[in-house]
């Protein structure tokens, strides 16, 4: 599988060029417990050359395995961008390597704090009963109630008296 997405600029057709294919997901350079690339970057783009500017329009996608920030369960999540438009300065070039541009667009769409919900799963750790989310205002969780109506922090208040 190709490692990079390179568009030849010599004898570029006036009506544009359709470039489609897949590039090795290793280009993302992501392989950790929170997010892992598990497939290729797929692209389908219309390329147009305007003198020194190359404009790409189309869609790209790439699958990842992510780990839920709350319950630590792993799930699959595909980043899909359907109406992508990028342009690059190709002055003096015979070919445009747009790998970095596409990579960046995908990485920007990757959630920083992934939750089960983004893949349509129900998180095992329900927000109603547990407020230990990292992206939440740390003060707002203090008064949260458990199903019994007691604050989860009541147990802590009782502790010194026992």
Q: Residue 49 or residue 123: which is nearer to Zn ion going by CB?
A: 123
Q: Residue 68 or residue 84: which is nearer to Zn ion going by CB?
A: 68
- If one counts every other C-beta atom within 10 angstroms of the C-beta of residue 141, the result is 14
Token look-up 């147990």 returns: 155
Say if CB 17 and CB 8 are below 8 A apart: no
Residue nearest to Zn ion (CB): 68
Say if CB 69 and CB 133 are below 8 A apart: yes
Q: Residue 9 or residue 123: which is nearer to Zn ion going by CB?
A: 123
Least spacing, CB of residue 25 vs Zn ion, in Å:
23
Q: CA torsion, points 132, 137, 140, 141, in degrees to nearest 10?
A: 10
Least spacing, CB of residue 121 vs Zn ion, in Å:
7
Q: Residue 9 or residue 71: which is nearer to Zn ion going by CB?
A: 71
Least spacing, CB of residue 116 vs Zn ion, in Å:
3
State the number of CA atoms in the 13 A half-sphere of 74 facing the CB. 9
Contact positions toward Zn ion, by CB under 5 A?
68, 70-71, 116, 123
Least spacing, CB of residue 67 vs Zn ion, in Å:
9
């Amino acid at each position: 599988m190709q490692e990079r997405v390179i568009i030849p600029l010599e004898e570029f057709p006036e009506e544009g060029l359709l470039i489609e294919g897949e590039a090795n997901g290793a280009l993302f350079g992501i392989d950790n417990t929170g997010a892992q690339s598990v497939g290729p970057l797929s692209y389908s783009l219309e390329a147009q050359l305007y003198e020194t500017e190359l404009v790409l329009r189309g869609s790209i996608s790439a699958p990842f395995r992510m780990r839920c920030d709350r319950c630590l369960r792993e799930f699959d999540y595909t980043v899909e961008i359907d109406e992508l438009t990028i342009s690059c300065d190709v002055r003096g070039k015979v070919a445009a390597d747009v790998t970095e541009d596409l990579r960046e667009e995908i990485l920007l769409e990757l959630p920083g704090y992934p939750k089960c919900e983004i893949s349509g799963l129900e998180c095992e750790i329900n927000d109603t009963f547990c407020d230990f989310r990292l992206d939440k205002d740390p003060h707002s969780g203090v008064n949260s109630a458990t199903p019994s109506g007691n604050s989860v922090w009541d147990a802590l208040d009782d502790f010194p008296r026992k």
